[in-house]
Structure 1
Amino acid sequence: MDVRPQLYVGGEWLTSGSGGEFKTTDPATGEVLGVVPEAGRAEVDTAVEAARAALDDPAWRDMPPSDRAKLLWRIAELIDEYADELAEMETRDQGQLIGVARGINVPGTAEQFRYFAGWVTKIEGTTAPLSIPGTFHYTLREPVGVCALITPWNFPLMIAAFKLAPALACGNSVIIKPAEQTPLTTYRLAQICEQAGVPAGVVNFLTGGPEVGRMLTNHPGVDKVSFTGSTSVGREIIAASAGNLKRVTLELGGKAPSIVTYDADIDAAVGGNLVGSFFNSGQVCAAYSRLYVDRRRVDEFVTKVSAGVGEMRLGPGIEPESTLGPVVSEHELQRIDGLVRNAVTDGAEVVTGGGRAGGALSGGNFFEPTVLTNVTHGMEIATKEIFGPVMPVIAYDDPEELASHANDTEYGLAASVWTKDLATAHRMAAQIKAGSVYVNLPPILDPAAAWGGYKASGWGKEMGHYAIDAYTQVKAVWVGV
């Protein structure tokens, strides 16, 4: 694969950027997949100017809602048409399993555009019965304006759709900046938008590292930033938004607790937590990365979950036989390895896995699927986001302490509870401070369901009607009658 992405600004494709260029590689092999232009200040400024001009272009501003809905639907159709190409590109660039790319990622991306195509004709204002005589009051929902969409490397295509589909549905213009590790499928998505007939300047595409993101978040011509990534960068974006009081949506880090009660169906809990902890090699913001298991069931749980891990086949995501792929970069591999080594130093025990894969996989970013026991609640491995294929198991004695342990973290993105007792399920769901609580389920998403975190896991919600709120602003109109 030799892909030569270009920047897309104001309807024009640019072969180079003033910031230079960088390479994107296959995390399974280290193979260079493409040389990518790095946007500089000139391209950022031009993209913002183009996006702002597009807001006043009658081709976009005055497009009938039904036509805008058809445009989003057309994007979805083109994603379906190029599904095989997109899936392979996502797997090569990010490392995820080809089955995940084909069966979940690409179809889920198309579904985002279909779902929000349905919203376009239903973005409504309201009237209010005022107590002031001789007045009529109504509201309009209008686009926020120029939106910078900054996406992460774990699900680059689908998360771009989380942001782009509602932004376009609401009539905004956008600048998409994917993570520098995984730019390729977002580049193809920009091409698809052009092919679908999105007017020039409405969708702009820039590639580059953190500095490009900073230029966008600090730019006075950007009205909104939607970011998915680390909490530390999220804090930087909040500070940068103060200049022109940008609106900000943030989906940040997580440290999801998974609680397995004494009465849980252990086999279901094992299967669900294997998915919840190891899906996409653990590179999921909602990954179940601290498991609280009733001490009376912990040996059974660990035995069965370790057997499940033993059946995983670690290998390149492009190979259909693989059931666990690489992590995205050498940097992430070393960070995960350091967390596991520190856990062992702190007293944790490695049941299976525990280090970098060797042999034929030594040239890639492969970390063995790892189960840790003898983990205590205060250890670093139980408090810090891992973002890798590691499952720390914490035995608990007192169920009354579970909610306080689950909430004893700066994060609050997701959590899960495994129980047969309905009262326990609802009580724990109410007590846990997280944006999503899954009962007897691994973490799943749907375009109609709100997604976003509490505390340091983010600001605002994506998907569902909450995304319409995020990408519109309300104007009140008063009329003397």
Structure 2
Amino acid sequence: MAEAPAVHGTLFIGGRWETPAGTDTIDVVSPHDGTLVGRVPHASPQDVDRAVAAAREAFDHGPWPRLPLAERLAVLERIQALMLERKDEFARVISAQNGSPASFSAVNQAAAAALQYGLVAAAAREFPFEERREGLRQPLLVLREPVGVVAAVVPWNVPQFVTAAKLAPALAAGCTVVLKPSPETPLDAYLLAEVCEAAGLPEGVLSVLPADRETSAHLVAHPDVDKVSFTGSVAAGRQVMASAAQHLARVTLELGGKSAGIVLPDADLPSTVAGLAAGSLLNNGQACVALTRILLPASRYEEFAAALTAVFGGMRVGDPLDPETQIGPLVSKRQQQRNLDYIRIGQEEGAKLLVGGGVPAGLEAGAYVQPTLFGEVTNGMRIAREEIFGPVVCLIRYEDEDEAVRIANDSDFGLSGAVFTARTEEGVAHGVEVARRIRTGTYTVNGFTIDLRGPFGGYKNSGVGREFGTEGLGEYLEHKTVALPATV
């Protein structure tokens, strides 16, 4: 029996559940069958003004930035504990909204999001918020202080994972935050608001405002916002940067990707195919880090193409809430059509459709697309250059390693990537040398990993700034130098 839709009538503004300024609402529909999953208020620009004012007051005059670090970090750890208590609920809600397979949501959305609060707390305990240095004429005290009011704009594909990447370091630094979840996935943000309220965040520190682009634009352009942290498309990221520049707000932008997985001639077939499938189809292919260009050596092209075709064709596609599902629906019918359009474009460009290419039989009511693999792709084709954001993957043939590196780097993006080589000490060393040659922010040798202790972000059009690790914490801090008397 289906669950009743989750209907919310209030907004979380400055730590209080408030009546929205307007009457517009957002209907959240299932990408599996189009039924209503929930309904929330649509935040208006007036709601943004209230939330930013609360955040400004809490930062300028409230206790949060002035609390001892240990007290702030204790709140983060309570958020982690409370999220873990409700992780199954978080995972179920996320999958119902955006179609992520339940197995993916449980590990990579709910649990990984909760983990970030604990990891940030641990990193902050060791972070040099104050540092003494010897200046040219006198001692210096270098202070790292919170940047201020943060606008955090998150996407629909991994909403809690991305939220934690912004909210955890911002809170640890002492910032106040206005969180703007995507209109496709606002329901999990309500769960987070409940968790943060229970964890003891002071008044004004957090607001949660589900809304569309118009309200988002008002938020990032607000003169009382000191920093914008945005994850989304390149086009939207450019608009965010231009808008924030009007009042010189700091920005972190995590944008798109078209990452390459390079298979070297000495790569092991079974483990490489498994790694490539995991890295290219995670979250139904709706991941900015996905390995959507697979570069195969000419000497082994047919062998790997056949193995990957079999794996793609054998994926279990269906209801995202079924624990056996490997590929769920895309987030919306609009996103489904975008993928189908690119599949048509790939065929018109001359790429060879190896498997997939349509809507699975019996699942026409949802936003489903079959796992699709194109062979004989050249790097100049649109399907090799533009981010499709779905289970559509390209195989590109190369003749030697220099050509593989050139193809991998021949992209407007630079977010992620991987190289697969012999699983030996010498092979790994060779893989590291390849990694040094690729212009991308995250890279894996013989696998596909995003590690929460390392900095994450992009080169080129893939973004500005870094998340995770101490580098991610540093994005929410300003540096102040205090010159001390020479006699001190």
Q: TM-score, normalised by structure 2?
A: 0.95
Matched residue type, 1:9:
I
2:242 is the counterpart of 1:234: no
Deviates more, 1:396-405 or 1:194-203: 396-405
2:135 is the counterpart of 1:104: no
Equivalent of 2:184 in 181, 185, 190: 181
2:440 is the counterpart of 1:434: yes
The alpha carbon displacement at 1:327 in A equals 0.6
Task: Give the secondary structure class of the aligned counterpart of 1:269.
Answer: helix
Q: In structure 2, what is the equivalent of residue 425 of structure 1?
A: 431
Q: In structure 2, what is the equivalent of residue 23 of structure 1?
A: 27
Task: Give the secondary structure class of the aligned counterpart of 2:144.
Answer: strand
Matched residue type, 1:458:
G
Equivalent of 2:463 in 455, 458, 462: 458
Q: In structure 2, what is the equivalent of residue 376 of structure 1?
A: 378
Runs of 4+ in 1 over 6 A off after TM superposition: none
8 Å CA contact 1:373, 1:392 repeated in 2: yes
Q: In structure 2, what is the equivalent of residue 128 of structure 1?
A: 133
The alpha carbon displacement at 1:309 in A equals 1.8
The alpha carbon displacement at 1:397 in A equals 1.6
The alpha carbon displacement at 1:56 in A equals 3.0
CA distance in 1, matches of 2:378, 2:451: 34
Question: For this pair of structures, how many residues does the alignment match?
Answer: 477
Matched residue type, 1:8:
F
CA distance in 2, matches of 1:422, 1:247: 38
Matched residue type, 1:387:
F
Matched residue type, 2:418:
S
2:445 is the counterpart of 1:445: no
Matched residue type, 2:232:
G
Name the CA shift for 1:10/1:327 in 2 (closer, same or farther; >3 Å): same
Q: In structure 2, what is the equivalent of residue 258 of structure 1?
A: 261
Deviations 1:185-204 (A, max 9, x none): 11211111011110011011
CA distance in 2, matches of 1:19, 1:305: 50
CA distance in 2, matches of 1:17, 1:395: 56
Deviations 1:91-144 (A, max 9, x none): 111111111122332111111011112234334221121232xx3320111100
Deviations 1:397-419 (A, max 9, x none): 23221111111111000111111
Deviations 1:28-54 (A, max 9, x none): 111111122111121111111000111
CA distance in 1, matches of 2:135, 2:18: 53
CA distance in 2, matches of 1:263, 1:118: 40
Q: In structure 1, what is the equivalent of residue 295 of structure 2?
A: 292
2:347 is the counterpart of 1:347: no
Name the CA shift for 1:17/1:32 in 2 (closer, same or farther; >3 Å): farther
CA distance in 2, matches of 1:200, 1:296: 63
8 Å CA contact 2:156, 2:182 repeated in 1: yes
The alpha carbon displacement at 1:19 in A equals 6.6
8 Å CA contact 2:412, 2:460 repeated in 1: yes
Matched residue type, 2:17:
W
8 Å CA contact 2:379, 2:396 repeated in 1: yes
The alpha carbon displacement at 1:169 in A equals 0.4
Equivalent of 1:191 in 191, 194, 208: 194
**Which residues in structure 2 correspond to 1:394-433 (within 5 Å)?**
394-420=396-422, 421-433=427-439
**Which residues in structure 2 correspond to 1:40-59 (within 5 Å)?**
40-59=44-63
Deviates more, 1:52-61 or 1:40-49: 52-61
Deviates more, 1:1-10 or 1:426-435: 1-10
The alpha carbon displacement at 1:216 in A equals 1.0
8 Å CA contact 1:91, 1:317 repeated in 2: yes
The alpha carbon displacement at 1:243 in A equals 1.6
Task: Give the secondary structure class of the aligned counterpart of 2:230.
Answer: strand
Q: In structure 1, what is the equivalent of residue 205 of structure 2?
A: 202
- The Cα RMSD (Å) is 1.3
The alpha carbon displacement at 1:58 in A equals 4.2
Deviations 1:244-273 (A, max 9, x none): 111000100000011111111121111111
Name the CA shift for 1:62/1:426 in 2 (closer, same or farther; >3 Å): closer
2:317 is the counterpart of 1:314: yes
8 Å CA contact 2:48, 2:218 repeated in 1: yes
CA distance in 2, matches of 1:445, 1:377: 25
Q: In structure 1, what is the equivalent of residue 473 of structure 2?
A: 468
Deviations 1:214-243 (A, max 9, x none): 111111000000011101111111111112
Matched residue type, 1:410:
D
Percent of paired sites with the same residue: 39
Deviations 1:414-434 (A, max 9, x none): 111111134531221111100
CA distance in 1, matches of 2:62, 2:182: 32
CA distance in 2, matches of 1:423, 1:171: 41
Q: TM-score, normalised by structure 1?
A: 0.97
Matched residue type, 2:432:
H
Deviations 1:442-470 (A, max 9, x none): 2x223211100000000010000001210
Equivalent of 1:82 in 80, 86, 89: 86
Task: Give the secondary structure class of the aligned counterpart of 1:245.
Answer: coil
CA distance in 2, matches of 1:383, 1:62: 47
8 Å CA contact 2:260, 2:292 repeated in 1: yes
CA distance in 1, matches of 2:360, 2:62: 56
CA distance in 1, matches of 2:452, 2:324: 30
The alpha carbon displacement at 1:374 in A equals 1.6
Q: In structure 1, what is the equivalent of residue 160 of structure 2?
A: 157
8 Å CA contact 2:66, 2:174 repeated in 1: no
CA distance in 2, matches of 1:166, 1:415: 25
8 Å CA contact 1:18, 1:41 repeated in 2: no
Q: In structure 2, what is the equivalent of residue 338 of structure 1?
A: 341
**Which residues in structure 2 correspond to 1:272-291 (within 5 Å)?**
272-291=275-294
8 Å CA contact 1:258, 1:292 repeated in 2: yes
CA distance in 2, matches of 1:142, 1:204: 22
CA distance in 1, matches of 2:353, 2:260: 20
CA distance in 1, matches of 2:247, 2:59: 18
